[in-house]
Amino acid sequence: MQLHNFDIDLFLRDYWQRKPLLIRNPWGSWRNPISPDELAGLACEDGVESRLISQTNEAIEAEHGPFPEARFGKLGKAPSTLLVQAVDIHVPEVAALIEPFRFIPNWRIDDVMVSYATDGGGVGAHFDHYDVFLVQGLGQRRWQIGQLCDEATQLLPHDDLRLLAEFHPTGEWLLEPGDILYVPPRVAHNGVAVGDECMTYSIGFRAPSRAELIGGWCDDRLAELADDDRYTDPGLAAQQNPGEITAEAITKLHALVTAKLADREAFARWFGTYNTTPKYPDMDWQPEAALGVDELRGLLGGGAPLLRNPASRFSFIRGEAGTVLLFVDGACFECAGEAGAFAQQLCSRDRVEVGLELAGSDAVMGLIAALFNQGSVAFED
């Protein structure tokens, strides 16, 4: 899939994280990748994150899945919306929706949430802290764009939903199948289904907060610190006032903390691992039996293409002297030479042909074996 007549450079310059943009069907030929029944089936499965939003005249109620199949037959005529998170890790056709948006770095991509709504259904006016492309799959949805929000914006009291107490629309569009609405972070928006059979694909992007980064990085550093790594002050001079914490002491204490936090190389390794950790780590994609390098060479010799697991996260960081740190599903692999070039290839494509020359490289085959045995790659058949 690809976007036609879409100027990526113009979008990144004028719209990304700046202002909303309506993109009328840029697909050429649009095909909805998952049916409403298939989506409802996913919402019934254990381990799949889903919510059902029901609207009445009095309130908006939220239920959390998994749901019994009979639940969907009891919805009645009131507007309702089914939301299923991370459908891309379960349905390859939905994962393919992410590919046209790879002009945004892999590490920023989160997942594809899919919603199905009956006439009048929606989740209410709200805002997000991340960028989102809203792709209309089936039916019609009326989207309204409103004010710029922040943490001080007043919300309605609700246990499950962050609904705006006030919403001031500044723009409105009716989306047809294949249309896309881009919404930057903190811009209020509200989508309402027009007619039944309304499906929307929300391609969301990760935006780690400063608090998340500091908390995670500090936790990582703490795990490596020894208890006897302590403040010392040999040559201490007597003070006029024992109650004073001197500037010299503060400088040494501050350095004791910041020296460990300022290690850029260690931070890069931590962030690559942290950022590629699977969203649902309890899901086990490992093969039933591990394969060795010789068995893998046999498969590659048979011409079997290598596929990335749609549920896996791949990123890399360039090191010194042409080395590459490859991060996959929270694991770090140090690669050089042919393995480094191959690692970069894996990060840019979801399907890689491994020729005989690469199959003869022990470093490349060792990397493929490790990724295959942790469930991050597989062979097409």
Domain 8-205 bears CATH identifier 2.60.120.650:
yes
Separation between Cα atoms, residue 298 and residue 175, nearest integer Å: 50
Average pLDDT of the residues of the chain: 92
Cβ pair 344, 324 in contact under 8 A = yes
| Cα–Cα distances in angstroms (integers) from residue 356 to residues 296, 301, 366, 381, in the given order | 12, 7, 15, 19
User: Residue 144 contacts by C-beta under 8 Å, 6 or more apart in sequence?
Assistant: 125, 167, 169, 171, 172, 189, 190, 191
Indicate whether 304 pLDDT > 80: no
Whose CA is closest to 122, among 66, 182, 194?
Answer: 194
Beta-carbon count within 10 A of 268 CB: 15
Predicted pLDDT at 381: 66
Mean pLDDT of 281-289: 86
Q: Where are the alpha helices (DSSP H) in 7-57?
A: 8-14, 36-43
Residue 363 burial (C-beta neighbours within 10 Å; 0-12, 13-18, 19+): middle
User: What amino acid occupies position 198?
Assistant: C
Beta bridge partner(s), residue 53? 62, 81
pLDDT tens, position by position, 203-227: 999 999 999 999 999 999 999 999 9
Indicate whether 259 pLDDT > 80: yes
Predicted pLDDT at 293: 87
* pTM of the full structure: 0.91
Give kind and range of the element (H or E) at residue 52: strand 50-55
The pLDDT confidence band at residue 61, using thresholds 50, 70 and 90, is confident
pLDDT tens, position by position, 26-48: 998 899 999 999 999 999 999 89
CATH fold of the domain at 293-379: Malonyl-Coenzyme A Acyl Carrier Protein; domain 2 (3.40.366)
pLDDT tens, position by position, 181-200: 999 999 999 999 999 899 99
In the chain, % of residues over pLDDT 90: 77
All CATH 2.60.120.650 domain ranges of the chain, comma separated, are 8-205
Separation between Cα atoms, residue 321 and residue 324, nearest integer Å: 9
All CATH 3.40.366.30 domain ranges of the chain, comma separated, are 293-379
